[in-house]
Chain A
Amino acid sequence: GAGVSQSPRYKVAKRGRDVALRCDSISGHVTLYWYRQTLGQGSEVLTYSQSDAQRDKSGRPSGRFSAERPERSVSTLKIQRTEQGDSAVYLCASSQGCNQPQHFGDGTRLSIL
């Protein structure tokens, strides 16, 4: 379809391992965001990138989260040295621009054992 697509839908990893989550945004959207949803902390932004920037602008102080954007409509969220507290749903969203609403993918549910 024409929406935001994320893969995989579910991911299980052992604590300490690195994981990579993929997002295919809507064609033509320039800004891309990664959010994390947990029961205890709600939804919070992790990273975002604008237009042709391939590197993210991290919304979080932790250096373990980073995103790369090899193509305008593709982003990969990388989490290094995963911790059990990283277990959450990771949502990707994109928008046409700063004054446009963000549209979300279905998310990747990550479980860290």
Chain B
Amino acid sequence: EDKVVQSPLSLVVHEGDTVTLNCSYEVTNFRSLLWYKQEKKAPTFLFMLTSSGIEKKSGRLSSILDKKELFSILNITATQTGDSAVYLCAAVKETSGSRLTFGEGTQLTVNP
């Protein structure tokens, strides 16, 4: 059975801290891994990772995929209170119409 596991499930930090969120997966016919940020409403797309070892960056956020060890990390540097959200990791298969298999999410709280 396909599985995506995120850790930690919950994290509380102070503004300015750097955080690393983890996502491991066991997915047959794996194609890519996606990261989303979900605040009160819709998950918003952050990154799509298909190739191993290539870091993707967007401002203070960056992410990388390791297809050998089957995991990905999402880094956030110089955290701000606006980074508080649930961060979802999801795997996409080559088959099954590219539907997402989600992890449970990491609840990040950034305190001022």
Task: Decide yes or no: A43 and B102 within 8 Å by CB, A101-B48, A105-B42 being known contacts.
Answer: yes
A91 contacts B by Cβ under 8 Å: yes
Task: Decide yes or no: A107 and B48 within 8 Å by CB, A59-B99, A101-B34 being known contacts.
Answer: no
Closest to A92 in B: B42
* A102 with B42: CB separation less than 8 A: no
With a cutoff of 8 Å between Cβ atoms, the chain B residues found around residue A106 in the complex are: 41-42
Give the B-binding residues of A (Cβ under 8 A): 3-4, 31, 33, 35, 42-45, 48, 50, 57, 59, 91, 93, 95, 98-99, 101-107
Give the A-binding residues of B (Cβ under 8 A): 31-32, 34, 36, 41-45, 48, 50, 88, 90, 96-105
27 contacting pairs across A/B (C-beta < 8 A):
A4-B42, A33-B99, A35-B102, A42-B102, A42-B103, A42-B104, A42-B105, A43-B88, A43-B105, A45-B99, A48-B97, A48-B98, A48-B99, A50-B97, A57-B97, A59-B96, A59-B99, A91-B43, A93-B100, A98-B98, A99-B50, A101-B45, A104-B43, A104-B44, A105-B42, A106-B42, A107-B42
